[in-house]
Structure 1
Amino acid sequence: MKVAVMGAGAVGCYFGGMLARAGHEVTLIARPQHVDVIQAQGLRMETRSFDEQVRLAATSDPAGVAGADVVLFSVKSMATESAGEQIRPHLRPDALVLCLQNGVDNADRLRSVLPEHQVAAAVVYVGTEMAGPGHLKHHGRGELVIDPSPAAERLAEALRAAGVPTELSDNVRGALWLKLILNSAYNAISAISQLPYGKTVNSPGIRDVMDDVIAECLAVARAEGVVVPGEVAEVVRKLPEQMPAQYSSTAQDLARGKPSEIDYLNGYVDRRGEALGIPTPVNRTLWALVKLLETKS
């Protein structure tokens, strides 16, 4: 399978690297500092089960998606439309574009700029970071939940064979909301405190704040007609046990002086709550505090 990764940060490098390690032809489209190292030495994948230099192609040019059977689309949510426009002239007509992004509306937004292409939503559960140029560090998990289609089934088989647990689901929308609730409960708190998940939950009052976030998110989801799968509170509670040392992506962005995706996490819940007449004061507060911290960058 020929695979391109548009926006090869920590998430894209993990899944692209796993496919490359399994023998697929993978091209990472990444920032120049990563591209230079990967071209010279390969991608260092420091995971829970192996530490290897994985050889694959890398470029900073969006034309690197040309000829790909599958494009793993993992840019930041705020760049969805612009990155979609960049790759559109180079996509094969039958290419599958798989959204590996935070938030719940990226696939819809991407379809608006790629109306003639197959765009599928996916839910990502993985703890990763770029520990340096060309150096991926994996902290835990690594599952995907994908919108079903014949092309998605073929990709799922390849991912499973590469060691990535992958499920096809008719309720990806609900699964995306479950991930949104996880992110809304943890990301801002980890970012504000600059602490990993395992430490944030032990501070007085934090679990109560998270419970309030969950309740607000579920109220908005119900009003949207979304069926969120599973025992949500239990899923949220277990995350620090699975990835105690993981800093949220929002925390990593703030630490590097970069804009975060908070507008598409707690900010999204607040906007939808306001539109639907549902109060979301805790989500609004967390969103506002992270936006305030962004001004320090």
Structure 2
Amino acid sequence: MIATRMDAPRNVDFMGAEKSEQMHLARYNNEKPNEVVQNIFNFKQAQLGPVLAPEWKGICMSKVVFNAVCNTLCTMFEIQMCQFIAYDGVREMARQLFDEAFDACERAGIYLIESCQEETDSVISISQAYKYHYPSMYQDFSKGRPTEVDYINGYIAKLGRAHDYICKTHEFVVHEVHLAETMRQFK
């Protein structure tokens, strides 16, 4: 979970305070770490807070699920993260999206690295830490590029449907972002 902004090719701005980030590592085949993985993990000079995790899908989906809240909602309203958390209902909105995502993941046998409550709390804490940040989906949206909503909220909805669970909120949010993309032509 490392917030970044890419200003140009090879010009990446790591936005967090030093030593505040975490980089989760796991073997793709979920085997125990071998010497190579252990050496990468021990490379602490990069100060990316390496954490060894037992399973890679949970790492990936934790980031997708977080982005399904912050990226998508900030994009729809064209706001920074500090503006997003100014609304008193953010925790409830986040929890609704997280509940659906966690249910879909659990049915698919994917277990996230944080609990649903920890993900919900992280929306507030990360939004406070990166208050002037526009998420990556908004950065694409504001430049007239297609967003990644189909690969974030859309993927969660697809995962749910594949396991007999309908993520109605995620499906609705996908339509909302695509509606916002369509409306750009009228501005």
Q: TM-score, normalized by length of structure 2? A: 0.80
For 2:166 and 2:109, how far apart are their aligned partners in 1? 17
- Point out the structure with the larger helix share: 2
Pair 1:195–1:184, CA change in 2 (3 A): same
Please state how far the C-alpha of 1:267 moved relative to its aligned partner: 0.4
Q: Deviations over 1:45-96 (max 9, x none)?
A: xxxxxxxxxxxxxxxxxxxxxxxxxxxxxxxxxxxxxxxxxxxxxxxxxxxx
- Point out the structure with the larger strand share: 1
Q: Partner of 2:169: helix, strand, or coil? A: helix
For 2:119 and 2:102, how far apart are their aligned partners in 1? 14
User: Which residue is 1:18 aligned to?
Assistant: none
Q: TM-score, normalized by length of structure 1? A: 0.53
Q: Partner of 2:42: helix, strand, or coil? A: helix
For 1:205 and 1:162, how far apart are their aligned partners in 2? 37
For 1:206 and 1:142, how far apart are their aligned partners in 2? 23
Match of 2:82 among 174, 193, 198: 198
Higher RCO (CA 8 Å, separation ≥ 6 residues): 2
Aligned pairs (5 A) from 1:1-297: 125-131=1-7, 135-140=11-16, 141-148=20-27, 149-158=34-43, 160-237=44-121, 238-295=125-182, 296=184
The 8 Å contact of residues 91 and 120 in structure 2, kept in 1 or not, is answered as no
The 8 Å contact of residues 21 and 48 in structure 2, kept in 1 or not, is answered as yes
Number of residue equivalences: 172
Q: Partner of 2:22: helix, strand, or coil? A: strand
Please state how far the C-alpha of 1:135 moved relative to its aligned partner: 4.2
Q: Deviations over 1:114-153 (max 9, x none)?
A: xxxxxxxxxxx11111345764333215321111443332
Please state how far the C-alpha of 1:231 moved relative to its aligned partner: 3.1
Pair 1:226–1:135, CA change in 2 (3 A): closer
The 8 Å contact of residues 220 and 278 in structure 1, kept in 2 or not, is answered as yes
The 8 Å contact of residues 209 and 282 in structure 1, kept in 2 or not, is answered as no
Structure 2 unaligned segments of length 5 or more: list them. 28-33
For 1:213 and 1:190, how far apart are their aligned partners in 2? 14
For 1:150 and 1:259, how far apart are their aligned partners in 2? 41
For 1:277 and 1:262, how far apart are their aligned partners in 2? 21
For 2:72 and 2:127, how far apart are their aligned partners in 1? 15
Pair 1:257–1:150, CA change in 2 (3 A): farther
Q: Partner of 1:185: helix, strand, or coil? A: helix
Q: Partner of 1:145: helix, strand, or coil? A: strand
For 1:279 and 1:290, how far apart are their aligned partners in 2? 19
Q: Partner of 1:247: helix, strand, or coil? A: coil
Pair 1:247–1:138, CA change in 2 (3 A): same
Pair 1:203–1:284, CA change in 2 (3 A): same
- CA RMSD, aligned part only? 2.2
Please state how far the C-alpha of 1:268 moved relative to its aligned partner: 0.3
Indicate the structure (1 or 2) with the bigger Cα radius of gyration.
Answer: 1
Please state how far the C-alpha of 1:174 moved relative to its aligned partner: 1.8
Aligned sequence identity (%): 19
The 8 Å contact of residues 149 and 174 in structure 2, kept in 1 or not, is answered as yes
The 8 Å contact of residues 178 and 232 in structure 1, kept in 2 or not, is answered as no
Q: Deviations over 1:101-120 (max 9, x none)?
A: xxxxxxxxxxxxxxxxxxxx
For 1:272 and 1:133, how far apart are their aligned partners in 2? 33
